[in-house]
Amino acid sequence: MAKKNSTKTATQEALSAAEPKLQTFTKWQGINIEQTPLTWTPDHRYWSDGTMQTDLATNFLLVQNNAFQQSNGTIETRQEDVDLFNAPDGYEFTGVTYMHDKYFFAACRSKDKPDASESIFMYNLQRQTWKQVKVKFALDKEYTLQWTNIFSYTVDGKNELICQCKSESASKIAYQITNVAGSEDGLYYVEKEISKDEYGESSGSLAGKNLTVSTKSEDVKKYKGIVQNESSFYVSPVSGANLRKQNQGCIFTGKFDDVINNKPIKNSEQLPDPYDCGIVDGAKTKPVTFKAIGFGSEVVNTDDLTIPETTGGNKTIATYSFMFENKFGSTKFYEPFFQCGLSVIAVEMTKSNGLHFIIDNIAPDLDITAVNIYGRYNNSLSWIYVGRVELEKTYDDVPNGDYSTGDRKGARPDRSGWKLNSDGSYRCEFNYFGDMTEKGDEAMANLEPLNLNTTLGPVAQYGTRVDSRLYFWGNPDYPYRLYIGGSCGMELKYDNGYGGAYVDAAPDFGCYISNVLKFKTQSGADIVTILCGHNNSSKTARYNLCETTLTATSELSTQSYQLEQVSNVEGCSSRRGSLVAADGLYYITRYGLAVTTMAMEYSSQMRTQYVSSVIKPVFSDKHAHLFENACMIYIDEILYFMLSNDDDELDRIIFAYDTNSKAIWTYTVGTEDDTILKIYPHDYYKYQEGIGVVTKDRVVLIPTTDVEDWRNEVFDMQVMLETGELSSSVPTTDSTYVDQLEIRFDWFVGELEVVLEGVDYYGRHVHVSKIIREEEIKNDYIEWMKVGYILENYHVHFIGHAHFRLTHFVAKVYTYGRKFGIQYGFDANNGYKNRRGAKKYQHHQLRSYNNLKECICT
């Protein structure tokens, strides 16, 4: 009988009721664990019981491990891990790496001596060999090093390698200071340098420094064990020189080609100021001397430094000094200044009427690259750039000897450059004839000199290159300080005079800089943006670097830059946990993966949007300090990120976020003994490319490009897919008779177990499984699995070692009461149950219920 008010006949309704309803699960959109129980964690081990979910959308998975999302919504297993290379013998990786061309640089620590200085090794991908990078310490001071960052930049068409580190325990160095008999001005020099922990905070200085010394017996006892002689004095603990503090940032640099050819990288030790750069010759100290000689007419008068009111005589009182320069900055001015009276002013000088500067007794091996000479006139306090002499510019002695005496007095010395003296010291000479002077490479000089020694370079543990400029940060004393490198050719110098600067991000805030990136706004403008972390998660911040004409309070801080905090935007506490992708700036925060798109808001400010809400428990169920070592990379419009190497549940998990489909899935790497230290783009163009994964003992590759027909091979890694709780309606309001599952693959090879688990009408646990096995690849592959239970809800697992592309699966279901007890085909279960729970049929355990031959023969 047809139902009342029905438009169908009784026959039509009966036929309709006899047909199964089809639930198709397709167009997958990644995993969603936001609403799972609190006991659930994204562990790389098998998911335990208690992870059922009743409010999950049917097109989401609870687990998608070692399988990625295709653009058409299908799920495909990833390629097998490829072992690239192991750590050098006797060493283990620390996680600090850098790849350039076919060379892979890695910081390593000794397994036998973990507290010793770390080393840098270089791996040649073509030769498959390791080579240790040599390290040379400036001024022969060695420290215990812990490498923190490696990167490179291009200068003058050549690559320069930069290796940054922490240096430890430099304050434990004691110096043996020897008085120089007959030396003027109480000069002392360092005879010996000894590292002894019991010497405390003692320190010393280089030759030529006036030192506070003590010869009291009680002070000498503090330095027992040092070999003494009659002329030995020891530096008082309160009068040490400015040595590097513990854990202070240090920079080593070297030409990339030189490093490959086994030449060392060299650090940024601070140069002594000019007067302290003299040499020790036997029992005497020769300090640096500075003088000027006039040539042509009598332009120089050093006796009378007054400007007469009458014509003639001196027209200008000139004061000259110089600075030594290395690749990181300049020293202080040489003192005492050289003063003289000039009979002509600078604009009246000619090439036959000027000054000849001589700087003598310069100690060798001080890593000096150039001398910059400056002058000021009459009562002016501003220094004017006079000229520059590069160290590479040398000259030969003139046979006629000294121009200041003899017959050649007054003639122009025909030399400008550096010369090695017979006693091993250097001499630098320079001709100055006013505005007509060829001042050398003026663009490389410090045009706004400050009386401040910056030859140490930026004290920084991290750095990066943005376009043609370098940025450094990570000063332990000023973690909020950003050092901005100079103009082209002066990238390592942060003096204003070289085009550099430094800026502070809210020094009273307590934040620290974690990363510096280039970001492009919707209007097309480029912004250098700085992400900052904080021990209080709510106080992380982000700043944009802006050019300004405001005068800063710090003498060096910035007349050209300032930081502007971006409103409604969080920061990032991880050094490697942020990057710029095609559609925005991504960074890992306390509560998830955030993105700031290029769409601008009011007052040119930006806001943050979370894209990881489907995996929020991964972030919210962990302490924030576990994310300090997070790392993120961007390959082919997919973000890959690892969150922690300090947590057993996350130390082998890589998360993937598709910026197009917004789907998220996971990869599990290696074995139980592996812990991911870092991921990086392994992208040398002559080899297979993909995700480079650094563990302590080896580097493996998760390929993202196809080189071989890998689909024909069995997958060694375990692939795991698991749906959320499925039912005929959400939320569940009725029971469903699940008759059969139909699973469709584009292609399949390997062994895969399909498991259906659920709760039946009477609240009992139901478990149905089937093993799919194919030794050769099958295209357009379909499998069926018999279920035959009345279920309130259920979920499906796919677990095994197989390669496949899953397009969809179909559940054939009947509404409650329509098809009780009707069974079709074979099943892998031992038996079926009727409505009251009694077993109705018995069958053999089968691997495939469609294999009739196996059923009959067994």
What's the pLDDT at 827?
37
Which of the four pLDDT bands, split at 50, 70 and 90, describes residue 116?
A: confident
Q: Indicate the SS3 state at residue 278.
A: coil
Joined together, the tokens standing for residue 554 give 């710090």
What's the pLDDT at 147?
94
Amino acid found at 104? F
State mean pLDDT over 17-23: 71
| CA pseudo-torsion sign 359, 362, 365, 366 | negative
Per residue in 388-412, is it b (16+ CB within 10 Å) or e — as a string?
Answer: bbebeeebeeeeeeebeeeeeebeb
Amino acid found at 620? S
Residue with tokens 């100690």: 363
- C-alpha distances out from residue 121 to 94, 104, 131, Å: 12, 8, 6
- Tell how far CA 584 is from the center of its chain: 19
CB distance 120 to 66 below 8 Å: no
Per residue in 110-122, is it b (16+ CB within 10 Å) or e — as a string?
Answer: eeeeeeebbbbbb
Q: What is the mean pLDDT of the chain?
A: 75
Ramachandran quadrant class, 147 (left: phi over 0; alpha: psi -120 to 50; beta: rest): beta
What's the pLDDT at 422?
84
Which of the four pLDDT bands, split at 50, 70 and 90, describes residue 169?
A: very low
What's the pLDDT at 792?
80
State mean pLDDT over 723-750: 79
What's the pLDDT at 693?
96
d(CA 132, CA 664): 39
The pLDDT of residue 824 is above 60: no
Among 125-134, 248-257, 442-451, name the one with the lowest average pLDDT: 442-451
Cα radius of gyration (the chain): 37
- C-alpha distances out from residue 33 to 52, 55, 161, 591, 665, Å: 11, 11, 44, 14, 11
d(CA 54, CA 207): 79
What's the pLDDT at 16?
56
The pLDDT of residue 365 is above 70: yes
Which of the four pLDDT bands, split at 50, 70 and 90, describes residue 34?
A: confident
Among 28-37, 314-323, 391-400, 657-666, name the one with the lowest average pLDDT: 391-400
Joined together, the tokens standing for residue 238 give 């309160």
What's the pLDDT at 406?
42
State mean pLDDT over 830-848: 43
Among 635-644, 647-656, 724-733, 844-853, name the one with the lowest average pLDDT: 844-853
The pLDDT of residue 558 is above 70: no
What's the pLDDT at 412?
64
State mean pLDDT over 476-502: 88
State mean pLDDT over 802-817: 84
What's the pLDDT at 410?
54
In sequence order, the 6+-apart residues with CB closer than 8 A to the CB of 507 are: 478, 480, 481
The pLDDT of residue 776 is above 70: yes
State mean pLDDT over 501-516: 86
What's the pLDDT at 129?
95
CB distance 754 to 778 below 8 Å: no
d(CA 717, CA 764): 33
Among 239-253, 402-416, 521-535, which range has the highest average pLDDT? 521-535
Enter the DSSP assignment of 740: E
State mean pLDDT over 407-426: 73
d(CA 545, CA 563): 5
State mean pLDDT over 832-855: 41
Percentage of the residues of the chain whose pLDDT score is greater than 90:
30
d(CA 206, CA 488): 33
Pick from 267, 24, 262: which is nearest to 141 by CA? Answer: 267
In sequence order, the 6+-apart residues with CB closer than 8 A to the CB of 48 are: none
Convert the pLDDT of each residue in 327-349 to its tens digit. Answer: 899 999 998 898 887 777 776 77
The pLDDT of residue 444 is above 90: no
What's the pLDDT at 298?
53
Which of the four pLDDT bands, split at 50, 70 and 90, describes residue 230?
A: very low
State mean pLDDT over 276-298: 77
d(CA 34, CA 617): 6
Which of the four pLDDT bands, split at 50, 70 and 90, describes residue 28?
A: confident
State mean pLDDT over 86-106: 96
Which of the four pLDDT bands, split at 50, 70 and 90, describes residue 523?
A: low
Joined together, the tokens standing for residue 846 give 């089968």
What's the pLDDT at 4?
55
Burial of 330 (0-12, 13-18, 19+ CB in 10 A): buried
Among 9-23, 173-187, 639-653, name the one with the lowest average pLDDT: 173-187
Among 352-356, 471-475, 713-717, which range has the highest average pLDDT? 471-475
What's the pLDDT at 548?
61
Q: Indicate the SS3 state at residue 258.
A: helix
The pLDDT of residue 799 is above 90: yes
In sequence order, the 6+-apart residues with CB closer than 8 A to the CB of 724 are: 32, 53, 56, 57, 58, 60, 61, 62, 795
The pLDDT of residue 238 is above 50: no
What's the pLDDT at 189?
37
| CA pseudo-torsion sign 841, 843, 849, 855 | negative
Which of the four pLDDT bands, split at 50, 70 and 90, describes residue 813?
A: confident
Name the phi and psi angles at 772, rounded to 5. -100, 125
Joined together, the tokens standing for residue 263 give 């030449």
Which of the four pLDDT bands, split at 50, 70 and 90, describes residue 239?
A: very low
What's the pLDDT at 290?
92
| CA pseudo-torsion sign 800, 802, 803, 804 | negative
The DSSP code sequence of 527-547 is EEEEEEE-SSGGG-EEEEEEE
What's the pLDDT at 226?
33
